[in-house]
Structure 1
Amino acid sequence: MICSQVFLLLLVPLCTASFAFGVLVPEEVQALKDIAKTTGKTDWDFSVDPCSGKSNWVKNLPLVGEENAVTCNCSVVNATLTLCHVVSIAVKEENLQGTLPAELVRFPYLYEIDLSRNYLNGTIPKEWGSMKLLNISLRGNRLTGPIPKELGNITTLKNLILEFNQLSGNLPPELGNLLQIDRLQLTSNKFTGEIPATFARLTTLTDFRVADNQLSGTIPSFIQRWTRLNKLVIEASGLSGPIPSEISFLTNLLDLDLSFNKLSGQIPSGYYGLRRVLYMKPAHWTSA
């Protein structure tokens, strides 16, 4: 078995389906079958083991953004048996037209789900909140409804990518419990209300995007606590009021877009870390 090692919560051997020679446990085979029905995935070949690397369980040499792979973690049970568990499901740009699968909870070792750029509709299952996921990417689908508050229970989560959907409602304060979050991307939805005060706890953020929404209120002064941030995009988000001087605390910030809001004031003088900045000045736009 040819394996690479990656850090999940602990260092564990990870074998992609293309190199794993074990057998996926039967309960997870059935879960994949149910997920195929839920999402509209019709070309998984269950005549071969999903962890075999054969048939279409892994797309060979995919273009970036078009990855399609079921990844397995396999361990030797005895001299004749190696059992596998699914740890990652990535199905991108496959024209899936079903709904998001609550069945993911049946994969006890799953850490990543990426269903970007499909036509999935419906809501995000609240059942996912019981999982130990590291990455969720649902970019570019047709999802509706609010972000389930239960996602705030996934304290292992590092990336939550929900941009370019039709999600709505207030941002759940419970997301402030994601104390390991690195990227929170919510651009181009229909979110309303203010940025929750609980987000002050998200001090591990490096990338925060809420552009093209219908938010209210001001840019919160607590962003001064997001000292690791290198990208802040709130273009056309609906925010108003003054540009807070606390932005000057974000010394790692490289990209800042405050344009198309009802903001007043300017970026604090003497702030030189920016590679790109867009914001509204009286009577004209400024880009640096």
Structure 2
Amino acid sequence: MGGAANCPSVMNILFGYIILTVFLVLVCMEPNQVEARIEPPYPPDCELKALHEIAAELGKKDWNFSENPCNNKSSWFTPPPTHGSQAINNSTVTCNCSFTNGECHIEVIYLVGQDLDGVLPPSLSKLLYINTVILHRIYLKGIIPHEWAALKLETLSVAMNHITGPITGYLGNITTLKYLSLENNQFSGTIPPEFGRLVNLEYLTLNANYLTGKFPSSLANLSNLK
């Protein structure tokens, strides 16, 4: 009898097993529950209004404005391709929600492989935090809006569209640019000497247009080109 008193009862063993099982279930479920509970805030009203205007200018009708553009879901986000495959189309808006005041701001608009009946959107200039604009192979028309001169972009691609006219010198005002792709359009005229101001530029493509003339000497300032 003395030895039996030191042995754990069946009920104690069962109770310990239940506690361990519940603990493991909670550990496994907690990240998903937290993810489900926490939604990022909406971007400010002025940015939502700008998105409405941008959609109208692009002719883009599938953005769902009843949902938060910053939640990486639905019409605002294209999941990355599975391993071994290559994405053909993309429609993604990305926000930065790491601001200390808790706000989310739109930083990226990434549209690839869409047949849009619109123009390059002047209202992009109303997104004060945007740093990446990729409008690639979506068949936009028109010219580069002068409003874009106020942008603080690091990446700009409008390749493979139907953009016409000269390459405007005011792109040289976007001195934050590191990547600029204007290839496969219908640009005419010469390369603007104002491009010499883009001293942070690392990548520049202008091929497959109707450009004439010589390279401006100011391009020698672009010492970071790769």
> What TM-score bracket applies, with the shorter chain setting the length?
0.7 to 0.9
Give yes or no for the alignment of 1:121 onto 2:141.
Answer: yes
Structure 2 CA distance for partners of 1:202 and 1:95, relative to 1, 3 Å: same
Amino acid at match of 2:201: I
Q: How high is the sequence identity, in percent, across the aligned residues?
A: 42
Task: Select 2:44's aligned residue among 25, 28, 31.
Answer: 25
- Normalised by the length of structure 1, the TM-score is 0.62
CA distance in 2, matches of 1:97, 1:119: 7
CA distance in 2, matches of 1:198, 1:189: 21
CA distance in 1, matches of 2:220, 2:62: 44
CA distance in 2, matches of 1:20, 1:120: 33
CA distance in 2, matches of 1:20, 1:114: 26
Give yes or no for the alignment of 1:61 onto 2:84.
Answer: no
Alignment-derived partner of residue 35 in structure 1? 54
Task: Select 2:183's aligned residue among 115, 140, 163.
Answer: 163
CA distance in 1, matches of 2:70, 2:100: 16
CA distance in 2, matches of 1:172, 1:102: 21
CA distance in 2, matches of 1:185, 1:64: 22
Structure 1 residue ranges without an equivalent (≥5): 3-18, 207-288
CA distance in 1, matches of 2:213, 2:141: 23
Superposition deviation, residue 129 in structure 1: 1.2
Is the Cα contact below 8 Å between 1:143 and 1:167 reproduced in 2? yes
Q: How does 1:1-288 map to 2 (within 5 A)?
A: 21-62=40-81, 63-75=86-98, 82-206=102-226
CA distance in 1, matches of 2:88, 2:180: 16
Over the aligned positions, Cα root-mean-square deviation in angstroms equals 1.8
CA distance in 2, matches of 1:123, 1:74: 32
Is the Cα contact below 8 Å between 1:126 and 1:149 reproduced in 2? no
Structure 2 CA distance for partners of 1:44 and 1:193, relative to 1, 3 Å: same
CA distance in 2, matches of 1:127, 1:29: 18
Superposition deviation, residue 76 in structure 1: 6.1
C-alpha deviations, 1:16-70, integer Å up to 9, x for none? xxx9612111111111111001001110000111112232100123443533210
Structure 2 CA distance for partners of 1:28 and 1:40, relative to 1, 3 Å: same
Amino acid at match of 1:31: A
CA distance in 1, matches of 2:59, 2:156: 19
Superposition deviation, residue 75 in structure 1: 4.0
For residue 151 of structure 1, give the secondary structure of its aligned residue in structure 2: helix
CA distance in 1, matches of 2:69, 2:138: 22
Amino acid at match of 1:30: K
Higher helix residue share: 2
Structure 2 residue ranges without an equivalent (≥5): 1-30, 32-37
For residue 115 of structure 1, give the secondary structure of its aligned residue in structure 2: strand
Rg (Cα) greater in structure: 2
CA distance in 1, matches of 2:175, 2:41: 30
CA distance in 2, matches of 1:148, 1:20: 41
Aligned residues: 186
Superposition deviation, residue 185 in structure 1: 0.2
- Normalised by the length of structure 2, the TM-score is 0.78
Higher strand residue share: 1
CA distance in 2, matches of 1:125, 1:20: 35
CA distance in 1, matches of 2:173, 2:80: 35
Superposition deviation, residue 146 in structure 1: 1.0
Is the Cα contact below 8 Å between 2:72 and 2:94 reproduced in 1? no
CA distance in 2, matches of 1:38, 1:64: 25
Is the Cα contact below 8 Å between 1:127 and 1:150 reproduced in 2? no
